[in-house]
Structure 1
Amino acid sequence: MITYSIIIPVYNEEANLPEMYRRVVQVIEGLDGPAELVLIDDGSQDRSLAILDELHQRDPRVHYLSLARNFGHQIAVTAGLQYAQGEAVVIMDADLQDPPELLPQLIEKWRAGYHVVYAQRVSRAKESWFKKLMAYGFYRILNRFTDVTIPTDTGDFCLMSRQVVDILNSMPEKHRYIRGLRAWVGFPQTAVQFKRDPRFAGDVKYTFRKSLNLAIDGIISLSRKPLKIATYLGLITALVAIAMIILVLFWRIYNAPAQLIGYTLITIAIFFLGAVQLICLGILGEYIGRIYDEVKQRPLYTIKKAAGFDEISQS
């Protein structure tokens, strides 16, 4: 019976894997129960898969899945959740920004009765002021838009109980935002604060574009408030249009023709109405696109190779 599963998504992390393995093993050997490492190769193009295979041959606690292509971080984590067997499941990144040495503190909170123990950042080493500002604003805006409270300054680094993991695995949606879904599930949750280290080696994988897409996924998958905003924009636009009609009629009846009534006013109105329409269409398009993805019923991922699991199935 496995007590702890540690899920680590991997994408072009050949420079980090040996040190990550060393530090994780050093920690799990001091735990109060057997542990497994569930490593998910998300279509890496370097030697990451070969290193995972070497680690598996050396250590039977190391299991890995190799996805047939790059499906993205959240899908890789989802694959790990579906194959993890532990009573407590930890998610962490391979770049060692999530320190493995924090695991005993997460486990202590779980033993105290919490079903979700998330690691909350109090500082970010060697990150630009722009990235820190964007991260600060993102979590505050996210909580304004979503219907659940997502703890600020938290990532995917967390520990979840088997009960929570089973519920997450039962959710069929394609666009997954793990930190939002774990908040939606409920159950007692708490934080363990830590100082986030810089990457041990290699380049940052979460570019601004990927971070923006993840933010949109989080908002769209957890709330219908953007649709309400589109409705409010339509109402406001209608009120402005009515006010402009009244204003033009007033000028026509009580004043001589003015230059403002001509092309300038018409141009402003066209651009304003066009912008509002495009914004609303964009919001509707995001929701319709997700409906389109859901009704196709395609699997979340495909597996190229797997090692260390009793039964291999594609989900």
Structure 2
Amino acid sequence: MSIVKLNLSSDASLVVGPKQTVLTLIVPVYNEQNAIGPFLDAMTPILNQLVPAIAGEILFVNDGSRDGTEFAIRSFMEANPAIRLVNLSRNFGKEAALCAGLEHARGDAVIPVDVDLQDEPNIIPEMVEKWQQGAQIVNARRNDRSSDSWAKRTTARAFYRAFNALADYPIPSDVGDFRLLDRQVVDVLRTMGERVRLNKALFSWVGFKTDEVTFVRQARTQGRTTMNYWRLWGMALDGIIGSTTKPLRIWTYLGTGLGLLSLLYAMYIFFSTLLFGIDVPGYASLILLILTFGGLNLFAIGILGEYIGRILTEVRERPMFVVRSTYGAED
């Protein structure tokens, strides 16, 4: 294997030598053509700190971008063979794109990272150091999210609390996909066949020895996020439904309790009518009971529908993503 030198800018280069431990950065991208250059300029000096003990490769997963993202990446690849590219056939979503990256990553360790540089590059050497000390998962916790809006911070806090209250295996708060995963962990994740998934929940489910680093979340440097609140709500729902059956169990208990209360109320009405006769009919209370129990029934049916819908998705056994083309060392 020959030595490859990457000249990403006039003062930054990345060297990949033979028989080195490889670290793969998985970078899902969607309509991010303007962010590719700044991302590479920021990451290259960081990866250079790891040379010669560790060689870095950057694996971009183009999630069906409709702008010039693919061509921007390929323009850097012409002089930088350590950059690899996987093009998906359409937009499958970030979770599927991350799974595609895990499937194609060759590194002894991998780090999923966002191209917008909100994930702090400077803590990567610290993550690698903890990995070399024996940790197989190194979480990157955001200890300051002041760059996010109040609404984003509030909804994120609510999600972690709700998820950990319901899930069989809790996830660490304020830890996203940005973390280091050992090759053994990646191999386990690749065997999981869920089509609808929240990857950060699976990262916690697999276990293994875990350590942690902290960082301050930065403001987005380029472009706009495509993760609106509706998509985030969908991801949260997928994560909860896919990680636990407690919502179904809660409604089992709630339904049993309401059934007993209904039986007691029916007995009260029956005996009060026999003993005291019938008072003036209560239209308001009747409507209130009908609407209350009707709403609860519809809500319970909705939860059942969420689980049934995901069962349908799983039994179809369609792939999570479709690869259109690959470019790089093994294309």
User: Which residue of 2 is the match for residue 117 of structure 1?
Assistant: 138
Q: SS of 2:221's equivalent?
A: coil
The unaligned stretches of length 5 or more in structure 1 are none
User: Which residue of 1 is the match for residue 154 of structure 2?
Assistant: 133
Return 50-59 or 180-189, whichever deviates more. Answer: 50-59
How far did 1:250 drift?
4.6
User: Which residue of 1 is the match for residue 125 of structure 2?
Assistant: 104
Q: SS of 2:266's equivalent?
A: helix
User: Which residue of 1 is the match for residue 298 of structure 2?
Assistant: 278
How far did 1:292 drift?
0.9
Equivalent position to 2:47, from 28, 32, 44: 28
Q: CA separation in 1, counterparts of 2:70 and 2:293?
A: 52
What CA deviation, in whole Å up to 9, does each residue of 1:60-94 have, x standing for no partner?
01101111111000100000000000001101111
Equivalent position to 1:158, from 133, 157, 179: 179
Taking structure 2 as the reference length, what is the TM-score of the superposition? Answer: 0.89
Do the aligned partners of 1:230 and 1:283 also contact (CA within 8 Å) in 2? no
What CA deviation, in whole Å up to 9, does each residue of 1:123-175 have, x standing for no partner?
11332222211111211211111111211111000000000000000111101
Q: Output the amino acid matched with 1:4.
A: L
User: Which residue of 2 is the match for residue 175 of structure 1?
Assistant: 196
For the aligned residue pairs, the C-alpha RMSD in angstroms reads 1.5
Equivalent position to 1:266, from 278, 286, 300: 286
Do the aligned partners of 2:65 and 2:91 also contact (CA within 8 Å) in 1? yes
Q: CA separation in 1, counterparts of 2:239 and 2:41?
A: 33
How far did 1:249 drift?
2.7
Q: Output the amino acid matched with 1:49.
A: E
Return 235-244 or 127-136, whichever deviates more. Answer: 235-244
Q: CA separation in 2, counterparts of 1:108 and 1:70?
A: 35
User: Which residue of 2 is the match for residue 14 of structure 1?
Assistant: 33
Q: Output the amino acid matched with 1:17.
A: I
User: Which residue of 1 is the match for residue 319 of structure 2?
Assistant: 299
Q: Output the amino acid matched with 1:191.
A: E
What is the number of equivalent residue pairs in this alignment? 310
Do the aligned partners of 2:61 and 2:98 also contact (CA within 8 Å) in 1? yes
Which 4+ stretches in 1 moved above 3 angstroms?
A: 253-259
Do the aligned partners of 1:97 and 1:198 also contact (CA within 8 Å) in 2? yes
Is 1:5 the counterpart of 2:24? The answer is yes
How far did 1:254 drift?
4.4
Q: Output the amino acid matched with 1:51.
A: A
Return 78-87 or 20-29, whichever deviates more. Answer: 20-29
How far did 1:244 drift?
2.6
Is 1:142 the counterpart of 2:163? The answer is yes
Q: CA separation in 1, counterparts of 2:222 and 2:25?
A: 21
What CA deviation, in whole Å up to 9, does each residue of 1:243-296 have, x standing for no partner?
33134235424446444x433232122212211211211111111111111111
Q: Output the amino acid matched with 1:10.
A: V
Return 48-57 or 114-123, whichever deviates more. Answer: 48-57
Q: Output the amino acid matched with 1:20.
A: F
Which residues in structure 2 correspond to 1:199-218 (within 5 Å)?
199-218=220-239
User: Which residue of 2 is the match for residue 290 of structure 1?
Assistant: 310
Q: CA separation in 1, counterparts of 2:329 and 2:254?
A: 52
Q: CA separation in 2, counterparts of 1:136 and 1:205?
A: 20
Is 1:52 the counterpart of 2:69? The answer is no
Q: Output the amino acid matched with 2:244.
A: S
Do the aligned partners of 2:109 and 2:182 also contact (CA within 8 Å) in 1? yes
How far did 1:204 drift?
2.0
Q: CA separation in 2, counterparts of 1:21 and 1:55?
A: 9
Q: CA separation in 2, counterparts of 1:11 and 1:125?
A: 25
The unaligned stretches of length 5 or more in structure 2 are 1-18
Q: SS of 1:199's equivalent?
A: coil
Q: Output the amino acid matched with 2:307.
A: Y
User: Which residue of 2 is the match for residue 195 of structure 1?
Assistant: 216
Is 1:85 the counterpart of 2:106? The answer is yes
Q: CA separation in 2, counterparts of 1:262 and 1:218?
A: 44
How far did 1:309 drift?
4.7
Q: CA separation in 2, counterparts of 1:243 and 1:13?
A: 62
User: Which residue of 2 is the match for residue 39 of structure 1?
Assistant: 60
How far did 1:214 drift?
1.1
Return 49-58 or 59-68, whichever deviates more. Answer: 49-58
Q: CA separation in 2, counterparts of 1:117 and 1:258?
A: 69
Taking structure 1 as the reference length, what is the TM-score of the superposition? Answer: 0.94
Return 261-270 or 98-107, whichever deviates more. Answer: 261-270
How far did 1:181 drift?
0.6
